[in-house]
């Protein structure tokens, strides 16, 4: 069985950038415009001795009310079908209400979830991510998806049981 890893989080945190890095393709659209990737995208990835399927999602529109509407249907579907969820946040933007809503949903699932703080390039990562401990998801995996920093170590942790 090849494990399925879903990239989940609000728009613009760097999910497609990480997807592209993991799959080494340009299949997922990377753009500055939140929500451009509207459907789930699947890619095959090989990293740190692990083979897995990675799923990119369009992100969750934090402007809606209520957790079920706040999380786009395709993100919920991606979480349901995944073996591992990489919950991505933006270390530069800091913690947002949408991050808190997503974290609350993920804590209620019996799903292996890894909290990822992206965009730590050029900033003091430890200080930037300190507030993310409040999400109650444990260790914060600091990465810079655009440069690949922290990515292999994240995958080693996330896929260790498989």
Residue 118 interaction partner, one of Mg ion, ligand GDP, none, beta carbon < 5-8 Å per kind: ligand GDP
The Cα–Cα gap between 49 and 54 comes to 15
Residue 57 interaction partner, one of Mg ion, ligand GDP, none, beta carbon < 5-8 Å per kind: none
Which residue number is nearest to Mg ion in terms of Cβ?
Answer: 16
The Cα–Cα gap between 128 and 135 comes to 14
Would you tell me which residues interact with ligand GDP (CB under 6 A)? 11-17, 30-32, 34, 37, 59, 118-119, 121, 144-146
Residue 157 assigned ligand-binding role: no
Residue 48 assigned ligand-binding role: no
Helix (H, G, I), strand (E, B) or coil at 143: coil
The Cα–Cα gap between 110 and 50 comes to 23
Residue 63 assigned ligand-binding role: no
Residue 59 assigned ligand-binding role: yes
The Cα–Cα gap between 118 and 144 comes to 5
Would you tell me which residues interact with Mg ion (CB under 5 A)? 15-16, 37
CB of 153 to ligand GDP, least distance (A): 15
Q: How is residue 80 annotated by DSSP?
A: H
Q: 50 vs 149, which CB is nearer to ligand GDP? A: 149
Rama region for 138: left / alpha / beta (φ>0; ψ in -120 to 50; rest): left
């Amino acid at each position: 069985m090849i494990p399925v890893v879903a990239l989940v989080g609000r728009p613009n945190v760097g999910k497609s950038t990480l997807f592209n890095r993991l799959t080494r393709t340009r299949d997922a659209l990377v753009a500055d415009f939140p929500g451009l990737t509207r459907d789930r995208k699947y890619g095959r990835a090989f990293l740190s001795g692990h083979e897995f399927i990675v799923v990119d999602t369009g992100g969750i529109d934090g402007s809606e009310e209520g957790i079920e509407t706040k999380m786009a249907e395709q993100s919920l579907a991606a979480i349901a079908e995944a073996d591992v969820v990489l919950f991505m946040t933006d270390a530069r933007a800091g913690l947002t209400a949408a991050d808190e809503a997503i974290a609350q949903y993920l804590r209620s699932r019996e799903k292996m979830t890894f909290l990822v703080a992206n965009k730590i390039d050029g900033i003091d990562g430890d200080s930037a991510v300190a507030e993310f401990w409040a999400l109650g998801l444990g260790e914060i995996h600091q990465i810079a998806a655009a440069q690949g920093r922290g990515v292999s170590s994240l995958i080693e942790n996330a896929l260790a049981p498989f």
